[in-house]
Amino acid sequence: MPAMLSLAGRKVLTLLLGLGGVAAFWLLGLPLPFLFGPMTACLVAALLRAPLTGPGRISVAARTVLGVAIGASVTPEVIQRLPSMLASVALVPVYIVAIGLVGVPFFRRICGFDPITAFYAAMPGGAADMTIFGQEAGANVRQLSLVHVTRLMVILVLVPFLLVHLYGVGLGNPVGPPATDLPLSELATMLAAAILGWKAAERAGLFGAAILGPLIVAAILSLAGFLHMRPPREALWAAQFFIGLGIGIGYAGVTLREFRDTVMGSAAFVLILAALAAIVTLTGIAPPVEGFLAFAPGGQAEMSMLAIIAGADLGFVVIHHLTRILLVILGAPLVARWLIRVPDERKPS
């Protein structure tokens, strides 16, 4: 029986479902088969109570590919353009505050969350970071994880649709050259950046170590002239596969009530955030496509991947998402402590 599968059996089943999703999307000519295929297949299987589980460290290791791809895009030309991005980067904290002012009341009144859970559900930081911070603050971890996995899923479906139909962007941009076209020295440099950056960031206790560590090392190598290309397309396809797999698996065990109260509410909130991101592009302070991707409330890894697929300015998009994540990670715990203290201070002595 499926319920009796061992851990290894569940991992194999999950991988086979993901590969089946890739094959189905590829044969049907549907967009982004390596991303949407495994996400859809695992989402459906999770809702049908299939015994799914993630592939563990392999999935984390795959995210190092994105870190290297992002870091390789940090070139001297991007650094020279930083002053021209200051106006749009300055909008990031305003955008975060606007999300909080809309999101916290939304999750409190519409979804019935407690104040701390509503706060961390609204914050557009990394999904894992917000869940961990929320757990430490006493939030409902199950609700938080469902909110953030829903945010990522809806954004990954909605953003490509809007890129094509609103901004007229094609999604057929090559994600990278084939591995056979890259010099062995370049591949070796990328591998070293991925492994050393990941492990050093883990040792330093850095959030998102699998992405941020390789990103920092690859950026240094790129600026120093040792790294000149992004990872090969096969590696980026693998990164897409594991991102899609992880989002689909996130719905394992979801109940009908959770789907109605948490998932649907979260999906509605993401539509509001996407509208805010689209409004930012109307200010004219950034190119429309880059501005939309820079302010779309997806994860750094997911938005970077979409920027690559859409052929957008990856450096511009990454700088804005790194600013957002840094501000949220540093500021969210401080605001949450204030939220916890306020009710206590109102109690009669």
Supply the pLDDT for residue 349. Answer: 41
Predicted model pTM: 0.74
Residue 292: pLDDT over 80: yes
Task: Between 82 and 187, name the one with better pLDDT.
Answer: 187
Q: What is the mean pLDDT of the chain?
A: 84
**Nearest Cα to 74, choosing from 225, 279, 292, 295?**
225
Q: How far is CA 172 from the centre of its chain?
A: 21
Task: Between 196 and 344, name the one with better pLDDT.
Answer: 196
DSSP letter at 229 equals: S
Q: What is the pLDDT of residues 298-340, one digit of tens each?
A: 777 778 888 888 888 888 888 888 888 878 877 877 887 776 6
Residue 74: pLDDT over 60: yes
Give the C-alpha separation, 139 to 203, whole Å.
27
Give the C-alpha separation, 131 to 181, whole Å.
41
